[in-house]
Amino acid sequence: QVQLVESGGGLVQPGGSLRLSCATSGSIFATTGWFRQAPGKQRELVATISIDGNTNHEASVKGRFTISKEKSTVYLQMNNLKPEDTAVYYCWAANLYGMQYWGKGTLVTVSS
Give pLDDT, residue 106: 97
Give pLDDT, residue 22: 98
Task: Give the whole-angstrom CA distance, residue 91 versus residue 48.
Answer: 10
- Label residue 47 by pLDDT band (50, 70, 90): very high
Tally of residues, the chain: 112
- Label residue 55 by pLDDT band (50, 70, 90): very high
Mean pLDDT (the chain, rounded):
96
Residue 1 is inside which H or E element, if any? none
The rounded Cα 7 to chain-centroid distance in angstroms is 10
Give pLDDT, residue 65: 98
Report, as an integer, the average pLDDT of 30-54.
Answer: 97
Give pLDDT, residue 62: 96
Q: CA distances (Å), 103 to each of 33, 76, 88, in order?
A: 11, 14, 11
Report pLDDT digits (tens) over 65-96: 999 999 999 999 999 999 999 999 999 999 99
Give pLDDT, residue 94: 97
Q: Quick one: what percent of the chain has pLDDT higher than 70?
A: 100
Residue type, 65: F
Q: Rg of the chain over CA atoms, in angstroms?
A: 13
